[in-house]
Structure 1
Amino acid sequence: MAAVDEIVFHQVLAWHHFYDRGTPDAALLSDGLLHAAELVAVVAGFFLLLDQRRRGALAVRAAWSGFFLGAGAFQLFDALVDHKLLRVHQVRYGVDLLPYDVAWTGSAVVLLAVGALLWARQRATTNGPA
């Protein structure tokens, strides 16, 4: 989710930077550091996923559950902590924030719900009927 946020909202749409409370150079540096960190996490996760697959231990539904739970957790953290608590940036500037905040937080809830549903289905499949 950090990659989607950074690429779509920071670069393509240019709605905000990771840190908007400083100079344009600081904002650009913060975007670069975020992009580097998320790229390291994506590559590391990909190698962990491949290792699970190689060992025959990959539970596909659990992996997708983790993907959606992680994306939703990042989105919710960004919405509540980065946007509201720390105020390092907003979703967009020069507009009424309420619809953007609702959509941003709502997307986090949807991602978390999909992840939780997949997790519950994985657990039911793994554990069988009680």
Structure 2
Amino acid sequence: MTTLKDRRYAHEDRSFHSARNFWSGFLVGLGFVAFFDETVFHQLLHWHHFYDLSTTDAGLVSDGFFHAFSWFATVGGLFLVADLRRRKAFWRKRWIGGIFLGAGIFQLYDGIIQHKVMGIHQIRYVENIWIYDVIWNVTAVIMIIIGAYLTAKTRPKK
């Protein structure tokens, strides 16, 4: 049975571990959106590979590295969650804020840096790419706004 004293200490631990709650969510969000991108757009729809400036074989190898990266980020974030839960310091709302920020920042980075600046791949190779770019980047900005709101709302009080 949890006592009032236990809950008070758990809340103090939660505030003490606010950065860990945030970063674990950030890694899970980054890993999840990368995994989703790789699974849906690379494997199921065949719209692009992580690296499209070479052969199909090179694109498939780059997809494998991208997939491994997404799982390393996700598993690393989940190990941090397990540690927070063990310490009774898990802060769900802050963690979810981290998820949205991680997913949104990665998606915006992908949409601007990888798609436009570096040009290593596009979302889809069609004549009018702009609608795909707008949807991709607006979705990223929405996730960033939600994540920033939740993170600010759960900022520990000094």
2: CA distance between counterparts of 1:37 and 1:98?
28
2: CA distance between counterparts of 1:8 and 1:95?
21
Cα deviation for residue 23 of structure 1 reads 0.3
User: 4+ runs of 1 displaced by more than 6 Å?
Assistant: none
Instruction: State the partner residue of 2:146.
Output: 114
Aligned positions of 1:7-86 closer than 5 A: 7-86=39-118
| RMSD of aligned Cα (Å) | 1.2
Cα deviation for residue 43 of structure 1 reads 0.8
| 1:43-76, Cα deviation, whole Å (9 max, x unpaired) | 1111111101110111111100000000000001
Instruction: State the partner residue of 2:7.
Output: none
Aligned pair partner of 2:126 in 70, 89, 94: 94
- Indicate yes or no: 2:154 matched with 1:127: no
- Indicate yes or no: 2:31 matched with 1:6: no
Q: Which runs of 5+ in 2 are unaligned?
A: 1-32
1: CA distance between counterparts of 2:41 and 2:140?
15
1: CA distance between counterparts of 2:126 and 2:95?
39
Q: Higher RCO, 1 or 2 (CA under 8 Å, sep at least 6)?
A: 2
Cα deviation for residue 95 of structure 1 reads 3.4
Amino acid paired to 1:97 = I
Cα deviation for residue 121 of structure 1 reads 1.9
Percent of residue pairs identical: 48
1: CA distance between counterparts of 2:146 and 2:64?
30
Please say which of residues 38-47 and 21-30 is displaced more in the overlay.
38-47
1: CA distance between counterparts of 2:78 and 2:128?
38
Please say which structure displays the higher CA radius of gyration. 2
